[in-house]
Amino acid sequence: MNKIGIMGGSFDPIHIGHMNIAEEAAARLGLDEVLFIPANKSYNKDPNENMSSDKRLYLTELAVEDDPLFKASDIEIKRGGTTYTVDTLEELKGLYGDDTELVFLLGADSMLAVDKWREPEKLFKLCRFAVVSRPGCSDGELEKEIKRIEKKYNSEIYRMNTPGLDVSSTDIRNRIAGGEGFRYMLPAKVWKAITDNDLYGFKPEFYPEAAIYVKRLEKELKPSRFRHTLGVAAEARKLARTYSEDPYKAYIAGLLHDCAKNFDREKTYALCEKYGVELDEVLKAQPDLIHSFLGAEAAKEEYGITDEEILRAIKYHTTGHGEGMSPLEMIIYLADIIEPNRAYFKGLDKIRKLAYYDLKSAMEEALEQTISFNSEKGRLIHPLSSQAYSYFKENNRRKRIE
């Protein structure tokens, strides 16, 4: 008789706790295969809070692809609607036939709820349950419940006497939202897919000051500028994580980089006067550039930012400068160009790639493109940009020779 393990759940996202139960069950119960079946819509979870089913399935497929015992199944997603395990088991019974035993794998928290699932009598006829304890659930309570259920449904429940790992999807989602590490809580490929695609996104409300800035910027900026701002902040944070720089500082600098951009002419000049921003010939000819220099002052005076590194990153985000920019300065300069809402232009992909490969090479490329683009438009090039370009060109050339 074949024995197939069924791992059901929302897998939002799948993590090592799930993989670990499946491995233990396969070894202890002699399973021929374990099917991981992401629920389309868990009856007990808010569907608005779930990642879309195709993404959860994709992550599940990545998680199992290197283990010949494990398979991902889309039957619950294909069936659609609210997921009831009893429907899944009936479908699987039909597929595999009577000479296959279905073993449904559960963590303790789910075991305590199984009684409330749809058509429990039928469920217990269609499969056997196997349960692992889970950190946070009392083993005594679990054992009592198992005994009660065994009696009620006249079905023996397998106990895998192994504690589950202290990992949950909820904790992982919170970690991602809060910008904390979560890399080793998931299979490597799943971690990579989540970070590469920025799934589950970072939520600014986990940085309380940032949440306040976001509210204010939403009021002050045009909607498209606001969207761009959030994009720059998120991209800057990602770059900072890549280069082991402070993601919080990068996020704040990204948020505030354009805080002076939507001031009208009059206000711009008045504030330049007030904060002592000098208007050189280029700034006078191209007032568009002023917002960077004024932005640093506005961030300080109006948002209370005191960190010099953040203020410099804002100040030089449009021109760069030639004194060897700090990593944070480069990050903001580049994030402004490569953030995902940026309209496509020829050459963007190259900068995007370089930005995650080497900041200085990316700066050289970005400055070269910016300078030639603006020259073609007949605009004056700010001397700071020319100096920055020469600096990076020379610096990168020397590095290549060494």
Q: Nearest approach, Cβ of 191 to ligand ATP (angstroms)? A: 15
The interaxial angle of helices 327-338 and 359-376, nearest 10 deg, is 50
Least distance in Å: CB of 44 to ligand ATP?
9
Paired tokens of 17: 């706790």
Q: Is 168 in the site for ligand ATP (CB under 6 A)?
A: yes
User: How many binding residues for ligand ATP (CB under 6 A)?
Assistant: 19
**Cβ proximity to ligand ATP, 5 vs 17, nearer residue:** 17
Task: Report if residue 5 touches ligand ATP, rule: CB under 6 A.
Answer: no
Query: Edge-to-edge strands of the sheet including 2-9?
Result: 70-72, 33-38, 2-9, 100-107, 128-133, 158-163
Q: What is the rounded distance in angstroms from the CA atom of residue 191 to the CA atom of residue 176?
A: 11
**H or E element that contains 35:** strand 33-38
Among 107, 231, 247, 327, binds ligand ATP (CB under 6 A): 107
Q: Minimum distance from CB of 96 to ligand ATP (Å)?
A: 21
CA distance 111 to 7: 13
Tell whether residue 52 is a contact of ligand ATP (CB under 6 A): no
Q: From the CB of residue 124, how many other CB atoms can be counted at a distance below 10 Å? A: 20
Choose the binding region for ligand ATP from 67-75, 121-129, 140-148, 166-174 (rule: CB under 6 A). 166-174
Q: Smallest distance, Å, CB 135 to ligand ATP?
A: 7
Q: How far is the CB of 255 from ligand ATP (least distance, A)?
A: 29
Q: Give the relative orientation of helices 290-303 and 247-256 as an angle to the nearest 10 degrees.
A: 110
With CB under 6 A as the contact rule, the residue among 4, 5, 6, 18 that binds ligand ATP is 18
- Least spacing, CB of residue 190 vs ligand ATP, in Å: 13
Name the one residue in this structure whose structure tokens are 């290197």: 66
Tally of CB atoms within 10 A around 65: 13
Q: Which is nearer to ligand ATP, 11 or 389 (CB)?
A: 11
Task: By CB under 6 A, name the binding residues for ligand ATP.
Answer: 9-12, 17-18, 21, 106-107, 109-110, 132, 134, 164-165, 167-170
